Chain A
Amino acid sequence: AQSVAQPEDQVNVAEGNPLTVKCTYSVSGNPYLFWYVQYPNRGLQFLLKYITGDNLVKGSYGFEAEFNKSQTSFHLKKPSALVSDSALYFCAVRVDTGRRALTFGSGTRLQVQP
Protein backbone atom coordinates (compact mmCIF):
# COMPACT_ATOMS: atom_id res chain seq x y z
CA ALA A 1 0.00 0.00 0.00
CA GLN A 2 1.09 3.56 -0.56
CA SER A 3 0.00 6.69 1.27
CA VAL A 4 0.77 10.37 1.51
CA ALA A 5 0.28 12.77 4.40
CA GLN A 6 0.10 16.55 4.19
CA PRO A 7 -0.04 17.58 7.84
CA GLU A 8 -1.10 21.20 7.27
CA ASP A 9 -4.51 22.11 5.91
CA GLN A 10 -3.35 25.68 5.31
CA VAL A 11 -0.07 27.55 5.19
CA ASN A 12 0.05 31.33 5.46
CA VAL A 13 3.09 33.30 4.37
CA ALA A 14 3.85 36.92 3.56
CA GLU A 15 4.84 37.86 0.02
CA GLY A 16 8.60 37.77 -0.40
CA ASN A 17 9.14 35.30 2.42
CA PRO A 18 10.23 31.70 1.85
CA LEU A 19 7.53 29.05 1.89
CA THR A 20 7.45 25.36 2.73
CA VAL A 21 4.58 22.93 2.19
CA LYS A 22 5.14 19.62 3.94
CA CYS A 23 4.63 16.09 2.64
CA THR A 24 5.52 12.68 4.03
CA TYR A 25 4.95 9.38 2.29
CA SER A 26 4.80 5.65 2.88
CA VAL A 27 5.45 3.06 0.16
CA SER A 28 6.83 -0.43 -0.23
CA GLY A 29 9.54 0.03 -2.79
CA ASN A 30 11.19 2.99 -4.43
CA PRO A 31 8.92 6.04 -4.52
CA TYR A 32 8.07 8.31 -7.39
CA LEU A 33 7.00 11.61 -5.82
CA PHE A 34 5.08 14.49 -7.35
CA TRP A 35 3.72 17.93 -6.54
CA TYR A 36 0.66 19.34 -8.27
CA VAL A 37 -1.02 22.73 -7.93
CA GLN A 38 -4.72 23.52 -8.32
CA TYR A 39 -6.02 27.01 -8.95
CA PRO A 40 -9.71 27.77 -8.26
CA ASN A 41 -12.13 25.95 -10.55
CA ARG A 42 -9.30 24.37 -12.52
CA GLY A 43 -7.75 20.93 -12.87
CA LEU A 44 -4.47 20.00 -11.27
CA GLN A 45 -1.24 21.10 -12.92
CA PHE A 46 2.05 19.26 -12.62
CA LEU A 47 4.80 21.18 -10.77
CA LEU A 48 7.68 18.77 -10.31
CA LYS A 49 8.66 15.18 -9.69
CA TYR A 50 11.34 13.05 -8.08
CA ILE A 51 12.20 9.77 -9.75
CA THR A 52 15.83 9.19 -8.89
CA GLY A 53 19.12 11.06 -8.61
CA ASP A 54 19.63 14.47 -7.04
CA ASN A 55 17.55 14.91 -3.89
CA LEU A 56 16.78 18.54 -4.75
CA VAL A 57 14.34 18.79 -7.62
CA LYS A 58 13.51 22.03 -9.42
CA GLY A 59 10.17 22.58 -11.09
CA SER A 60 7.85 25.15 -12.58
CA TYR A 61 7.31 28.72 -11.32
CA GLY A 62 10.45 28.71 -9.15
CA PHE A 63 9.33 25.84 -6.93
CA GLU A 64 11.66 23.13 -5.72
CA ALA A 65 11.32 20.07 -3.51
CA GLU A 66 13.73 18.10 -1.39
CA PHE A 67 13.56 14.33 -1.20
CA ASN A 68 14.65 12.96 2.17
CA LYS A 69 14.67 9.18 2.22
CA SER A 70 15.47 8.79 5.92
CA GLN A 71 12.58 11.04 6.92
CA THR A 72 10.33 9.81 4.07
CA SER A 73 9.57 13.41 3.22
CA PHE A 74 9.23 15.47 0.05
CA HIS A 75 8.64 19.07 1.13
CA LEU A 76 7.82 21.74 -1.43
CA LYS A 77 9.75 24.99 -1.16
CA LYS A 78 10.12 28.39 -2.76
CA PRO A 79 12.66 31.04 -1.73
CA SER A 80 10.34 34.02 -2.22
CA ALA A 81 6.55 33.66 -2.28
CA LEU A 82 4.26 35.56 -4.63
CA VAL A 83 0.60 36.40 -4.11
CA SER A 84 -0.07 34.48 -7.33
CA ASP A 85 1.27 31.32 -5.66
CA SER A 86 -1.90 31.18 -3.56
CA ALA A 87 -3.55 27.87 -4.48
CA LEU A 88 -4.17 24.32 -3.35
CA TYR A 89 -1.11 22.07 -3.43
CA PHE A 90 -1.16 18.29 -3.61
CA CYS A 91 1.64 15.83 -2.98
CA ALA A 92 1.38 12.42 -4.68
CA VAL A 93 3.30 9.15 -4.68
CA ARG A 94 3.48 5.90 -6.54
CA VAL A 95 5.88 2.98 -6.48
CA ASP A 96 8.26 2.25 -9.32
CA THR A 97 6.57 -1.02 -10.25
CA GLY A 98 3.09 -2.08 -11.17
CA ARG A 99 0.24 0.14 -12.21
CA ARG A 100 0.77 3.86 -12.57
CA ALA A 101 -1.90 4.97 -10.13
CA LEU A 102 -0.94 7.97 -8.05
CA THR A 103 -2.01 8.28 -4.43
CA PHE A 104 -2.68 11.90 -3.49
CA GLY A 105 -2.48 13.68 -0.19
CA SER A 106 -5.42 15.66 1.15
CA GLY A 107 -4.00 18.96 -0.06
CA THR A 108 -2.59 22.10 1.56
CA ARG A 109 -4.00 25.52 0.87
CA LEU A 110 -1.27 28.12 0.49
CA GLN A 111 -2.27 31.68 1.21
CA VAL A 112 0.30 34.37 0.37
CA GLN A 113 -0.52 37.75 1.87
CA PRO A 114 0.59 41.01 0.19
Chain B
Amino acid sequence: NAGVTQTPKFQVLKTGQSMTLQCAQDMNHEYMSWYRQDPGMGLRLIHYSVGAGITDQGEVPNGYNVSRSTTEDFPLRLLSAAPSQTSVYFCASSPSSVNTGELFFGEGSRLTVL
Protein backbone atom coordinates (compact mmCIF):
# COMPACT_ATOMS: atom_id res chain seq x y z
CA ASN B 1 0.00 0.00 0.00
CA ALA B 2 1.88 3.06 -1.28
CA GLY B 3 -0.43 5.74 0.22
CA VAL B 4 0.11 9.18 -1.34
CA THR B 5 2.86 9.37 -3.95
CA GLN B 6 4.30 12.65 -5.23
CA THR B 7 6.65 13.17 -8.16
CA PRO B 8 9.12 14.67 -8.68
CA LYS B 9 10.75 15.04 -5.26
CA PHE B 10 12.97 17.88 -6.46
CA GLN B 11 12.68 20.30 -9.36
CA VAL B 12 14.48 23.45 -10.46
CA LEU B 13 12.73 25.78 -12.89
CA LYS B 14 13.51 29.05 -14.54
CA THR B 15 11.11 31.96 -14.24
CA GLY B 16 8.32 31.62 -16.78
CA GLN B 17 8.59 27.87 -17.26
CA SER B 18 5.63 25.63 -16.62
CA MET B 19 5.50 22.22 -14.98
CA THR B 20 3.18 19.71 -13.35
CA LEU B 21 3.57 18.17 -9.92
CA GLN B 22 2.01 14.73 -9.86
CA CYS B 23 0.03 13.26 -6.97
CA ALA B 24 -1.51 9.80 -6.83
CA GLN B 25 -3.20 7.93 -4.00
CA ASP B 26 -4.21 4.28 -3.85
CA MET B 27 -6.56 4.47 -0.85
CA ASN B 28 -9.72 5.35 -2.80
CA HIS B 29 -9.95 8.67 -0.97
CA GLU B 30 -12.47 11.14 -2.29
CA TYR B 31 -10.83 14.24 -0.85
CA MET B 32 -7.47 15.44 -2.18
CA SER B 33 -5.62 18.70 -1.67
CA TRP B 34 -2.42 20.58 -2.34
CA TYR B 35 -0.57 22.62 0.27
CA ARG B 36 2.60 24.67 0.11
CA GLN B 37 4.95 24.92 3.07
CA ASP B 38 7.07 27.99 3.60
CA PRO B 39 9.30 28.72 6.62
CA GLY B 40 7.42 30.32 9.50
CA MET B 41 4.09 30.16 7.67
CA GLY B 42 2.97 26.61 8.20
CA LEU B 43 1.00 24.98 5.40
CA ARG B 44 -1.31 26.95 3.15
CA LEU B 45 -4.01 25.36 1.03
CA ILE B 46 -3.69 25.91 -2.72
CA HIS B 47 -6.49 23.84 -4.25
CA TYR B 48 -8.61 20.92 -3.18
CA SER B 49 -11.05 18.39 -4.62
CA VAL B 50 -13.94 16.52 -3.00
CA GLY B 51 -14.24 14.00 -5.82
CA ALA B 52 -13.52 13.32 -9.48
CA GLY B 53 -14.55 16.26 -11.63
CA ILE B 54 -14.85 18.66 -8.67
CA THR B 55 -12.16 21.15 -7.67
CA ASP B 56 -12.12 24.38 -5.69
CA GLN B 57 -9.70 27.08 -4.67
CA GLY B 58 -7.98 27.27 -1.35
CA GLU B 59 -6.17 30.10 0.37
CA VAL B 60 -3.41 30.75 -2.21
CA PRO B 61 -4.61 29.55 -5.65
CA ASN B 62 -3.08 32.21 -7.91
CA GLY B 63 -0.57 30.84 -10.41
CA TYR B 64 -1.71 27.24 -9.98
CA ASN B 65 -4.17 25.05 -11.81
CA VAL B 66 -5.62 21.63 -10.93
CA SER B 67 -7.88 18.99 -12.41
CA ARG B 68 -9.35 15.75 -11.08
CA SER B 69 -10.24 13.36 -13.87
CA THR B 70 -9.90 10.24 -11.71
CA THR B 71 -10.24 9.45 -8.02
CA GLU B 72 -6.57 8.49 -7.82
CA ASP B 73 -4.81 11.46 -9.42
CA PHE B 74 -4.68 15.16 -8.59
CA PRO B 75 -1.95 16.99 -10.55
CA LEU B 76 -0.91 20.55 -9.74
CA ARG B 77 0.14 22.74 -12.66
CA LEU B 78 2.32 25.81 -12.43
CA LEU B 79 1.40 27.90 -15.44
CA SER B 80 4.32 30.36 -15.48
CA ALA B 81 6.71 29.81 -12.61
CA ALA B 82 7.79 32.75 -10.44
CA PRO B 83 10.46 32.91 -7.70
CA SER B 84 7.63 33.40 -5.16
CA GLN B 85 6.55 29.84 -5.94
CA THR B 86 9.76 28.43 -4.53
CA SER B 87 8.43 26.18 -1.81
CA VAL B 88 7.83 22.64 -0.66
CA TYR B 89 4.55 21.28 -1.99
CA PHE B 90 2.52 18.59 -0.26
CA CYS B 91 -0.36 16.57 -1.59
CA ALA B 92 -2.79 15.18 0.99
CA SER B 93 -5.87 13.00 0.84
CA SER B 94 -8.68 12.03 3.15
CA PRO B 95 -11.46 9.43 3.19
CA SER B 96 -14.96 10.44 2.27
CA SER B 97 -16.22 10.51 5.84
CA VAL B 98 -16.87 14.10 6.80
CA ASN B 99 -16.11 13.51 10.46
CA THR B 100 -12.56 12.22 10.23
CA GLY B 101 -10.65 15.18 8.82
CA GLU B 102 -7.44 13.19 9.13
CA LEU B 103 -5.17 13.90 6.19
CA PHE B 104 -2.65 11.50 4.67
CA PHE B 105 0.34 13.36 3.26
CA GLY B 106 2.82 12.60 0.53
CA GLU B 107 6.52 13.15 1.18
CA GLY B 108 6.61 16.47 -0.61
CA SER B 109 8.05 18.04 -3.75
CA ARG B 110 10.73 20.69 -3.31
CA LEU B 111 10.52 23.31 -6.05
CA THR B 112 13.07 26.04 -6.71
CA VAL B 113 12.33 28.79 -9.21
CA LEU B 114 15.33 30.80 -10.36
Contacts and interface: CB of A to CB of B under 8 A. Distances in A.
Interface of A: 4, 9, 32, 34, 36, 41-46, 49, 51, 90, 94, 99-107
A32 B56 CA distance: 21
A43 B40 contact: no
Contact of B4 (A4, A43, A99, A101): A43
Contact of B33 (A45, A101, A107): A101
Nearest to A52: B99
Contacts of A42: 107-108
Among all A-B residue pairs, the 4 with the closest Cβ atoms: A43-B105, A104-B42, A104-B43, A106-B42
Given A43-B107, A90-B43, A99 B50 contact: yes
Given A43-B106, A45-B105, A100 B43 contact: no
B24 to A, nearest CB: 14
Contacts of B33: 101
Please classify how large the interface on chain B is, using the bins under 10, 10 to 19, 20 to 34, 35 or more. Answer: 20 to 34
Given A43-B90, A101-B33, A32 B42 contact: no
B12 interface: no
Interface string B36-66: 0000111111001010000010110000000
A101 B45 contact: yes
Contacts of B42: 4, 90, 104-107
Which DSSP category, helix, strand, loop or mixed, fits chain B's interface? strand
Contacts of B41: 106
B71 interface: no
B74 interface: no
Contacts of B108: 41-43
Interface string B73-111: 000000000000000001010100011111111111000
Nearest to A94: B101
20 contacts: A4-B42, A34-B102, A41-B107, A42-B107, A42-B108, A43-B92, A43-B106, A43-B108, A46-B104, A49-B100, A90-B42, A99-B50, A100-B50, A100-B94, A100-B101, A101-B33, A102-B103, A104-B43, A104-B44, A106-B41
A42 B104 CA distance: 12
